[in-house]
Amino acid sequence: MYVFSTEIFDKIRETSASARGEWEITDAISQLSKEKKTVLAVKISQDDWIDIGRPWDLLEANRWALERMEHKVYGLVENGAHLVGPVSVAETARIRSGAYIEGPALIDEESDIGPNCYIRSYTSIGKKVRIGNACEIKNSIIMDNVHIGHLSYVGDSILGEKCNLGAGTITANYRLDGGTIKMVVKDRVVDSGRTKLGAVLGDNVKAGINALFMPGVKVGCNSWVGPNVVVQRDVAADTVVLLKQNLEERKLSS
């Protein structure tokens, strides 16, 4: 990780492309050092570092952060709601009656949860999120301005900002054979090593009622998944996926 003052930009302009055809930030740092500018290095322990190069690494980072933060409840928790273990509820958040939240978990500003929701451990819910009646969220990252319709299940998944899931949406997170779940990363199929892994949805993804996302699928930003669609493979950004029906209509015999 680098933390730079604005001086770095002048040095970047003075550098030229390397043998790989890239402008290397290390060249600019070396130039600053040669000019006796202050360049400091700090070594951090392995316990304070976690790599997030793959999608499922975000879930591990989320777990890491939730276990280390100080949890406090400031927002409105209605009678009949239950918070078990370390749970943070921001000042403008609302937890409706019948909700059951297991910590560690985070509910951020202006989010509205419930009624009758089950928020399981290691879930982070961002700002202005609406989770409808009778939903279950487990070990997931729900980013800002997401709407999850009633009777939905989100497990071991990541939902980007402004996603909208219709009622009854399911993110499946477990293979029928119990095997580890694979995901396509940079055009390669990579074994996550996890037996529980749901879906990763980019920003502004919309899902119709009863949409089903199979374990390990990714959906690009701004895509729409229609009602009753089973998403079995990755969906590119700016794509609409709809289910065609073959309907038969006939008169009842008298």
Q: Which residues are catalytic?
A: 150
What distance in Å separates the CA atoms of residue 4 and residue 39, rounded to the nearest whole number?
9
